[in-house]
Amino acid sequence: MNIFDGQSYFSFDALSLFFLFVIFVISLPSAVYSFGYLKGEYSSAKIKLSWVLLALFILSMALVVTVSDALIFLVAWEIMSLVSYFLVVFDTTQEKSVQAGTIYIVMTHIGTAFLIAGFLLMHKYAHGFGFAAIKNASALMPAAVRNITFLLLLIGFGTKAGIVPLHIWLPYAHPQAPSHISSIMSGVMIKTAIYGIIRFVIYILGVDSFWWAALILILAVISCLVGVIYALMEHDLKRLLAYHSVENIGIILLGVGLAMLFLAAQMPFLAVFSLIAGLYHLVNHAIFKGLLFLCAGSVYKATHTRDIEKLGGLIKKMPQTSVYFLFGAMAISALPPLNGFVSEWLTLQAFFLGAFSFSGGAKLLLGICAAMLALTSGLAAACFVKAFGITFLAQPRSRHAEEAKEVPLSMKAGMFFLSALTVIFGLASVPIVKLLSKVSGAATGISVSGMRFSLNNFILSPQIAKSNCLSAFWLGAILIALGTTGFIVYYSLRRKRPVIYQTWDCGYYKINARNEYTATAFSKPFRIAFSFFLLPYRKTQKIRESFYHVKSFAYETHTTPVFKKYIYDPVLALVFKSAKSMRRIQPGSIHLYLAYIFATVLLLIIFMHKF
C-alpha cells in the first residue's frame, strides 16, 4: 500500500474535525503548563525527551481521528498506545510507574487484539480497509457477523475508554504519568475510543438492533455508578480524578447509547439530539477533567504529595490554583451555570423525550437510567465537596501543605485557559449545540437542516418539546444579580467589621488540624451505604508498651477491590498456571527444538498439499 498513490487516506468530515478540536484545545494549555511543571522535577535531558513524546502523542491522536482507512487507523492507534505507555512510565525511578505501565500496556493490547479481530471480520466482506468500502459492505454482512463485529469493537474500544469492567488500568496508569500527560490522557486519549465507537458502530456499521443500544446503556450506567463510588473512596487526588473519568465516560456513553437506541427506532431528531448531548459532555469532560488534572499537578508540585489526608489549607497558600480547581469541581458536579450542567441537562432531556416517544416498559427503563444518572451527579457533587474541601480548605494537615507555594505563571496560564472554557462552554451553549448538531448529523448520516434546538441565541429548547427550556446564560445572570444584591445589602447596612476569632472548640482546648474532619470520615456514610458493593473491612491493632499498658491503636480501613479480586486475579492466576505447564515443552534441549521445527514444517507441507 502506498500512501502517496493519489488515493486519500485521510478524511476531514465534521466528526473528525470535532475530535481534532478537542485534542488541540486540551493539548495546548497542557503543553504550556508543562513548561513550569517539568522544571526542577526532572533533568534537562528528560525534559527534552518529554517534549518529543508529547509531540508524538498529540500527533498520533490527531492521526487516529483523521485517517479513513482501518489499517492506518490501527497503526496510529498502536503508536498512540505505545507513546502513552512511555509517558506513563516516565518516572522510571518509581516502581509504581513501571507496574502501572505494565497493567496499561497489557490491557491496551488486549483491546487492540479485539479491534484487529473486528477489522479483519469487516475486511472479509469489504475486501478492503477503506472506511467507504467497509461502510458500503456493512449492509451485506449477515446479522450474526454484524453482532460479533459490534461486540469485538465494543470490547476493543471499551478497554481504551475505561468502561467497567475493563476500567482496571485507568486508575493505575493515569495518576502515574506527569500531570500534564494525565490531563491529556484523561481528557482526550480515552475519548478517541468514543470516536472509534461513533465512527465504526454508528457511522460505518449503522445501528439496526435494539440490544446494541441497550447493552451500551447498561454498561454506561454501571460505569457511572462504579466510577463515582470508587472515586468517593479514593484519597489519592489523581486516582480520584481517574475514577471520575470512568464515571464521565459512562455519562458520555449514555448519550451515545441513546443515540443508537433512537437510530434503531428510526427517530432521527432524538438520535441527533442524544448524540449532541453525548458529544457536548465529551468536550466538557475534556475541559474540566483536563483542568482538574492540571490543578492536581500544581498541588503535587507544591506539596509533593497526592494524599488529600495530608493536605488542607491550600486556599491561602495557593489562592489561584484553588479558584481554578473550584471551577473544575463545580463544572464536573454539574452546577449551573458552568458547562457540565448544560450537558447533563441535555442528557437527562434526551432520556425524558425518549420516554415520551416510546411506550410501555421502555419508558420505565429510561426513567430508571435517568434516575441513576441523577444519583451519579449527586454522588459526584459529594465527592468534589470532599476533594475541594479536604485539599484546599481548613488548616494544613502536614508540613508539606504548610510550606506550599503558588505555582509559576506558565502553569497558572494553562489552568486559567481551561477555567475560562468551563464558563464559556456553559454560557454559550446555544451556538455550541448548533455546531454540534452538524457533527451529530455527519456521524449519523441524518440531515439536520430542518432541526431546531433553541428558541433564540440564549435559550436551549428541543424542537419537539418547546416548553423544556434551559438558558444557562440567563440563570447565571440571575444568580449573579441576586448574589450581588445580597452582598450589597450585607455591606451597605453593616455597622462594624466582623471579629476574627478561633473556631469554636467546645471550651476544651485550642483546636488544630488534627481535629478536622478527614476524607475517610467524610466518605464514611457512603462506605456504609454502599457496603454491599465495596465490602469494607478494617484492621485494628493494639500497640503495647507492656502486657498491661496499651500505648496506642493502629486502625486501618479498606474496601475490597471487587473487580480486581474476583475477575482479574483469577484470570491472571490461570494465565500464570498455564504458562507454567507450557514450560514443560521448553526444556532447553536444542535437539527437541529441531524436532519441533521439523514437525511444524511437515505439518505445513501437509496442510498446503491438502487444502
Partner 1 sequence: MKILLICLQLLLFIAIAPFLSGLITKIKNNIRMRKGQSILQPYYNLGKLFFKEEVVSRTASWIFRAAPFVVLGSVLTAALMIPVFIFSSPLHKAGDFLALVFILALGRFFLALAALDTGSSFGGMGASREMFISSLVEPALCLVVFSLSLQYGSTDLSLPGANYGLSVSSLAAAVTLFLIALAETSRIPVDNQETHLELTMVHEAMVLEYSGRSLAFMELAAQIKQMVMFFLIAQVVFPAAWPGLGNLWQFIIWILWYPARIIIIAGLVAFVEVSVAKMRLFRVADFLGFAFVLGIISVICAILGV
Interface positions, 441-470, toward partner 1 (CB under 8 A): 455, 459, 465, 467-470
- Distance, in Å, from the CA atom of 128 to the CA atom of 230, rounded to the nearest integer, reads 43
CA dihedral 81, 86, 89, 90 (to 10 degrees): -140
**Could you tell me which residues come within 8 angstroms of residue 532 by beta carbon, excluding any fewer than 6 positions away?**
none
Q: Which range touches partner 1 (CB under 8 A), out of 8-16, 204-212, 349-357, 544-552? A: 349-357
Q: Which range touches partner 1 (CB under 8 A), out of 51-59, 112-120, 203-211, 491-499? A: 491-499
Minimum CB–partner distance for residue 391 and partner 1 (Å): 10
Binding residue (CB under 8 A) for partner 1 from 222, 372, 413, 420: 372
Give residues 208-227 in contact with partner 1 (rule: CB under 8 A).
none
Biggest alpha carbon–alpha carbon distance for the chain: 102
561 in contact with partner 1 (CB under 8 A): no
368 in contact with partner 1 (CB under 8 A): yes
385 in contact with partner 1 (CB under 8 A): yes
Give residues 325-344 in contact with partner 1 (rule: CB under 8 A).
330, 333-336, 341, 344
Minimum CB–partner distance for residue 472 and partner 1 (Å): 9
234 in contact with partner 1 (CB under 8 A): no
Q: Are 332 and 186 a contacting pair, CB within 8 Å?
A: no
Give residues 9-48 in contact with partner 1 (rule: CB under 8 A).
none
74, with CB counted inside 10 A (0-12, 13-18, 19+), is middle
- Phi first, then psi: what are they for 356, rounded to 5°? -70, -30
Minimum CB–partner distance for residue 58 and partner 1 (Å): 34
468 alpha carbon, distance to own chain's centre: 29
**DSSP characters over 531-582:** HHHH-EEEEEEEEESSSS-EEEEEEEEEE--HHIIIIIHHHHHHHHHHHHHH
1 in contact with partner 1 (CB under 8 A): no
Q: Nearest-CA neighbor of 163 among 126, 125, 117, 111?
A: 111
- Phi first, then psi: what are they for 373, rounded to 5°? -65, -40
Binding residue (CB under 8 A) for partner 1 from 480, 535, 604, 605: 480
479 in contact with partner 1 (CB under 8 A): yes
Between β-strands 536-544 and 550-559, what pairing exists: parallel, antiparallel or unpaired?
Answer: antiparallel
Choice between 49 and 362, CB closer to partner 1: 362
- Distance, in Å, from the CA atom of 221 to the CA atom of 247, rounded to the nearest integer, reads 9
Minimum CB–partner distance for residue 438 and partner 1 (Å): 25
List of E strands, 377-418: none
Give residues 510-529 in contact with partner 1 (rule: CB under 8 A).
511, 513, 515-518, 521-526, 528-529
- Distance, in Å, from the CA atom of 100 to the CA atom of 84, rounded to the nearest integer, reads 12
Choice between 16 and 523, CB closer to partner 1: 523
One-letter identity of residue 378: G
Minimum CB–partner distance for residue 329 and partner 1 (Å): 8
- Distance, in Å, from the CA atom of 239 to the CA atom of 387, rounded to the nearest integer, reads 11
Binding residue (CB under 8 A) for partner 1 from 35, 51, 352, 568: 352
497 alpha carbon, distance to own chain's centre: 46
492 in contact with partner 1 (CB under 8 A): no
475 in contact with partner 1 (CB under 8 A): yes
One-letter identity of residue 515: N
Minimum CB–partner distance for residue 490 and partner 1 (Å): 6
Minimum CB–partner distance for residue 242 and partner 1 (Å): 21
Stretch 392-421: interaction string toward partner 1, x if CB under 8 A: -xxx--------------------------
Choice between 53 and 475, CB closer to partner 1: 475
Choice between 371 and 572, CB closer to partner 1: 371
Binding residue (CB under 8 A) for partner 1 from 25, 390, 439, 451: 390
Q: Which range touches partner 1 (CB under 8 A), out of 194-202, 235-243, 252-260, 355-363? A: 355-363
Binding residue (CB under 8 A) for partner 1 from 3, 139, 482, 572: 482
Choice between 262 and 522, CB closer to partner 1: 522
Binding residue (CB under 8 A) for partner 1 from 498, 507, 587, 588: 498
Residues in the chain: 611
End-to-end CA distance of the chain: 28
Give residues 252-291 in contact with partner 1 (rule: CB under 8 A).
none
**Three-class secondary structure assignment of 251-313:** HHHHHHHHHHHHHHCCCHHHHHHHHHHHHHHHHHHHHHHHHHHHHHHHHHHHHCCCEHHHCCC
The CA distances from residue 124 to 68, 129, 142, 156, in Å, are 18, 10, 12, 19
Choice between 245 and 471, CB closer to partner 1: 471
Q: Which range touches partner 1 (CB under 8 A), out of 253-261, 413-421, 490-498, 571-579? A: 490-498
Q: Which range touches partner 1 (CB under 8 A), out of 28-36, 128-136, 390-398, 543-551? A: 390-398
- Phi first, then psi: what are they for 558, rounded to 5°? -135, 160
Binding residue (CB under 8 A) for partner 1 from 47, 75, 98, 374: 374
Choice between 36 and 340, CB closer to partner 1: 340
- Distance, in Å, from the CA atom of 560 to the CA atom of 519, rounded to the nearest integer, reads 18
Q: Which cell numbers hold the place of 225?
A: 455508578
The CA distances from residue 500 to 57, 503, 505, 506, in Å, are 51, 9, 15, 17
* Total binding residues toward partner 1, as defined by CB under 8 A: 87
240 in contact with partner 1 (CB under 8 A): no
Minimum CB–partner distance for residue 53 and partner 1 (Å): 38
Minimum CB–partner distance for residue 31 and partner 1 (Å): 31
Binding residue (CB under 8 A) for partner 1 from 53, 222, 381, 423: 381
Residue 3 Rama label (left phi>0; alpha psi -120 to 50; beta)? alpha
